[in-house]
Structure formats: structure tokens, C-alpha cells
Amino acid sequence: MLGKILGRLEESFLCLLLVSMTFLVFAEVVARFGFNAGIHWAQEITLTMSAWFVLFGASYGVKVGSHIGVDVFVKMLPRNVHRAITMLAIVLCLFYCSLFLYGSWIYLSKLHMIGIEMEDLPIPRWMPTSVLFIGFALLIVRFLVLLWGVVTHKTDGFHLADEAKESMHIAEEIRAKNKQEEAN
Amino acid sequence: MATAALFILLFACMFMGMPIAIALGLSSVTTILMFSNDSLASIALKLFEATSEHYTLLAIPFFILSSAFLSTGGVAKRIINFAIDSVGHIKGGLAMASIMACMLFAAVSGSSPATVAAIGSIVIAGMVRSGYPEKLAAGVITTSGTLGILIPPSIVMLVYSAATEVSASRMFMAGLIPGVMMGFLLMVVIYIVARVTNLPAQPFPGFLQLAKSGGIALGGLMLIIIVLGSIYGGIASPTEAAAAAAIYAFLVAVIGYRDMGPIKDMPWRKEGEGMASVFIRNTVQMTLAIPRSIYNREVNKVVLDAAKVSMMLLFIIANAMLFAHVLTTERIPHSVAETILQWGLPAWGFLIVVNILLLIAGNFMEPTAILLIMAPILFPIAVQLGIDPIHLGIIMVVNMEIGMLTPPVGLNLFVTAGITGRDMLWVIKSVLPWMLLLLFFLMLITYVPQISLFLPEYIDAMKGY
């Protein structure tokens, strides 16, 4: 239950970031053409949101399987070899995350110590940058969950996106509509 | 040494099935730590900058959002009706109309597999019903679906300009003529086939019907006009045009076409409804539809789907920027370029090598991944050999198109197999003759740079540069 609510919150947060970036850039265009004015803080905020969107979203992508990768070769291997390779790959992913987690911690603590503010907004710079740490911490959590899934035989490999499969939902929608029309 | 480490790590990680973003990031970070003095903090800073200092990259999520709103069966149907009304009466017209529909839908959706799925599942059955061989129908659609990444606005082109810092606007200008030419080439071949094998033609529906279906389709097609018009005219940057496109796409899908959202399938005018009532009801419904969309399930799903794809792409790009950073600090493209110049390989020879390399890579990887790995390497070499970066970009995109048709990872093949219910081998055979055409087209693009460069140079000249 709590997991479900957290999941919904995560999704809403990401959607909100995407939608507000779109509106902000659009508002800037409208301000420029309609009122011959600019919104001077808009660009910095949009770009900060984009960083949050990407770094916060990366771990969500691991959860729902939206990352792309090359899995044609590992899928041809016997099941246990495939699982072993996946475990090694996840450990390597965890290593990658920890390197960045450590690096961002040092960077953030330096930023905090210096205490500089953002260019256009009176916000200390370490605050928006903290998503580096948050994002990689979440990524570690997601990879640990995935590793557990492989260990307990719930899955064999990374859950990777398949654009061809995703496009099929358009085909299914059309098929369903045709059936509906035939029935009428 | 560093070069070897970088590439061995990258390919080892990638073929283990790791997400490409992390394979790129991990191999770069490890190489940096082993062979240079950069600290982890500075690498983390670089990654943050890669996600937060590139305003042009924001065009990617916005275009994905706009295409998510318009990549629906409803939009596909409207475009197909318009295409059939305009070219259906020629011999082999249904096939030509399908190609035209693919071109238009491709421009709106920017994705090849989505184009094949949307157009293919409607027209392949229709073509078979009016007497076309199914193999021909499947082959044509699978091939013309690849135009999705060549006809602007295209997400793959944005990725190329992110990897090489070539202007995205100019890439969008360069893609238009090759894209239209490719579609035209397919249509000409179909016309010849239709003459020889006596394929059927549809009756001409009359100009009134054409104007009507054209008007209906225009709702979606306006998107292309807005985006390309504002970019070609130099009014807006691709990012701004994309943001406007996303908002326009939302309005068309939810309020104009009513394919999704709170007033889904609500007719503009109910039977026997008075004009005053139509006006008042629609105004109220449309005004309410915008706030109601915030918690509408279908609209939420479209936004979330777009968010998933865009953050995946942007995360890869951020990591690819680390990769490109390692490439430049290790001067890898530079030394490759020197070796090539020493061999005395001319520009045309280099382009053959590029094409072969890309065609092989296209068998195994997704277009975005190939571009992000190969473009930073090929770009400096091409510049040294006097090849225009825009031209190189178009060559790479056409190669990616062919990659979508080659097994084992040809995305379009899977979609066609899914629509027709046939096996992969049948689909591959149906595509084969058309792929030869595409290879011919690749040669044309490679050795006649004017096809790609004419429009950007013409627009530059017009603006007086």
C-alpha cells in the first residue's frame, strides 16, 4: 500500500517536472512574441528541472524497465549463465553508482561549504545539485531490488525497453476499434 | 592503452545486457580514474552539467511529448484518409497513399516503429482486401516506416546534434529533401510495379471530399507546419518550437480530435442539435476539459510514457557526454584521423568505411546508442577530410533507417511481424527488395552531398549569411 502511494508520488513528480518544463519554455516564447519581454529566471529553472527529471528519473527507469540495452546475445545463453552474467552486470552497475554517490557527496559538501547561490535565483547552489546524490542513492536501491529479483529467480536479466513491443499498443488500439465498429 | 580500456569495457558492459547509459558511464569513469587525474567530484559535476546546461537538449522531451499525444490510431486514420483521397486514384494508388501516410505520420510521431504500427495495421489489411499481394504491402510499409527518423522533426537528429554540437535547426533543414525524395522514390517504384503487375486504382472521390479529409488531417499536420515553419523561418529555436508543438499536440488530441481525455469521443455536434446549443456546449466542455485533463487517466498515461522515454534518452546522452569527454582528452578521434590520413584514404573511401561500420552496428544496437558512440569519433575525422558535418549526420541517419530493417534488432521487422501475424523470415523476405532500394538511396545520399546540403545552404543564403 505504502509502496503504491510512493510509486504514484514518484510518477506524478516526474510528470509534473516534464509538464512544467514544457509550460515554462512555452511561456517564454509567448512572453517574447506576445509581450516582447523575457522571463529572465525561466531558463535556469527549466534547466535545473531537467537535471532533476533525468537524475531522479533514472532509477524509476530501472524499476519500470524503460532503459535500453543490447540483450540479444545474453538471451541466447543458457539460463544459469545468463543469470550469472546479469548478477555480475548489476554489481558493476552498483559500482558505477557508488563511484558517483561518493563523488557527488564530496562535490556537494564543497558547494555547501562555499555557499554560493544560483545565477538568477537566491537559492544556495547545493540544494538543486543535491539531486545528484539523491538520484544515485535511489539508483542503488533499485539495482539492489533487481539483484534480489535475480537471486530469487524472479527475473533473469535487466528489464529493458522494447520499442517495437511498445509500438504494438497502437496496433492493438486500432484492432479493438475495428472490432467495435464491426459489432455495431 | 586508455583507448583499448575504454572500448573493451564499453562493449563488455554492453553485451552483458547492461543499460547502455550505465555501460557508457561506467567505462568512461573507470578510464578516467585509471588514466587521468580527474577527481570523482569533478566527474560528478560533469554529469550534472550534462543534464543541466544544454538548453537545446530539452527539445527531445518536448518532441517526445508531442508525438506521444499524436501517435494514436485516430490520427493515423485521418492521415490515411487524406492520403487515399489525394493519390489513391493513380494506379497502385493505395500503396502510394500508404507511403504518403507513412511520411506524414512519421513527421508527426518522429518514431519509425510507431509509424509502422499505426499506419501498417490499418493499410496492410486494406491493401490485401483490394487485391495487393500481402508481401508487397508489408514490405512497403515496413520500409517507408523508417522515414520516421529522416523526415524532420526527428528525435534521432536531435541526438546527433547533441553528440556533435551541430545545429539542430540545420539538421532539420537538411533532412527534409532526402526524406521527401526517399518517399518519392518508393512511390515511383510502386507505380512501375503497379503498371507491370496491373495493380488496382481507387476511384477519385472528388475535390470536395479531398478538401474535407485534408481539412480534418490538417489538425495533426499543422504540427509539422508550426515546427518546421518556425525553425526554417528562424523565428524559434528547436527547443521553443518543440515546447509549442507539445502544447499544440495536447490541444489537438484532447480538444480537437477528442481521441483521448475527458471529452473523449464527444461529437462536436449531436444529431438534431441547434447551433446555439452546439456553441455553448462545446465552449463549456472545452474550457472544462483543460483542467480536467490534469487528473484524466489517459492524459496522465501519455505524459508518463513520454517521461519514461525522454529521461531514458537524456540519461544516455548525459553519460555519452562523459564518454565524449574521455574521447577528447585521450585525443582518440584525433589519432584515428591521423592514421587514416597517413593511409591516404580519400573522403569517399572513408565514407564507404563509415557506411559499412554503421550498417554492422545497426544490426545490434538502437539508433540513439550508435549515434552517441560513433558520432563523436567519426565527426572530427570527417571534418579533417573536408566532409560537411551536416552531410555526415544525414548519412548516419539513413544508415540507422536501414538498421531498423536488419535482423536481429530491426525494430520495424518485429512490428510488421506482430501486425501481420507472420514469422520473421517472411517479413525479412518481404522487405528485402525495398532494402536494396534503400541501399541505393544511401549511396545517392553519400555521394551527392547537395541533396542534404541544398536546403540549409539555401536558407542561409536567403537570410544573407
Q: Is B16 exposed, middle or buried (0-12, 13-18, 19+ CB in 10 A)?
A: buried
Question: What percent of chain A is modeled with pLDDT above 70?
Answer: 99
Burial per residue of B341-366, b for 16 or more beta-carbon CB atoms within 10 angstroms, e otherwise: eeeebeeeebbeebbeebbebbebbb
Show the cell assigned to B249: 499536440
Tell me the average pLDDT across A30-47: 84
pTM of the model: 0.91
Q: What is the pLDDT of residue B269?
A: 77
Classified as helix, coil or strand, B419 is helix
Cβ contact B412:B145 at 8 Å: yes
Q: What is the pLDDT of residue A173?
A: 81
More confident of the two residues B119 and A38: B119
Q: What is the pLDDT of residue A21?
A: 94
For chain A, what are the domain ranges? 54-183
Q: Compute φ and ψ for B388, nearest 5 degrees.
A: -65, 130
User: Which residues of chain A are within 8 Å of residue B40 when distances are taken between CB atoms?
Assistant: 99-100, 102-103, 106
| Predicted complex ipTM exceeds 0.90 | yes
Report residue A178's pLDDT band, with 50, 70 and 90 as the boundaries.
confident
Q: What is the pLDDT of residue B2?
A: 80
Q: What is the pLDDT of residue B177?
A: 92
Show the cell assigned to B251: 490541444
Respond yes or no on whether the N-terminal peptide bond of residue B408 is cis (omega within 30° of 0).
Answer: yes
**B312/A161 touch (CB, cutoff 8 Å), yes or no:** yes
Cβ contact B185:B437 at 8 Å: yes
A86 closest CB neighbour out of B17, B22, B307: B17
Query: CA-CA distance, B3 to A121, in Å (whole number)?
Result: 42
B65 closest CB neighbour out of A18, A99, A166: A18
- Transcribe B312-363 into DSSP letters: HHHHHHHHHHHHHHHHHHTTHHHHHHHHHHHHT--HHHHHHHHHHHHHHHHH
Give the mutation candidate from A33, A56, A70, A97 for the B interface (greatest B CB count, under 10 A). A70
Query: CA-CA distance, B445 to B179, in Å (whole number)?
Result: 11
Q: What is the pLDDT of residue B465?
A: 61
What's at B155, amino acid-wise? Answer: I
Nearest to B163 by CA among B1, B392, B451: B392
pLDDT at A128 over 90: no
The Cα of B447 is separated from the nearest Cα of chain A by a number of Å equal to: 32
Query: CA-CA distance, B13 to B23, in Å (whole number)?
Result: 5
The contacts of residue B358 (CB under 8 Å, 6+ apart) are B370, B374, B395, B396, B399, B400, B403
Kindly list the averaged pLDDT for each block of 10 residues, start to end, along chain B of length 465. 86 90 93 87 89 88 91 86 88 88 88 88 87 90 89 89 89 91 91 86 83 87 89 86 92 86 77 80 82 84 91 92 88 82 82 87 85 89 88 92 84 88 90 91 90 86 73
Q: In this complex, is the C-beta atom of B20 within 8 Å of any C-beta atom belonging to chain A? A: yes
Length of chain B measured in residues: 465
Least confident of A94-103, A168-177, B180-189, B351-360: A168-177
**A171/B120 touch (CB, cutoff 8 Å), yes or no:** yes
For B77, nearest residue in chain A (alpha carbons): A174
Q: In this complex, is the C-beta atom of B19 within 8 Å of any C-beta atom belonging to chain A? A: yes
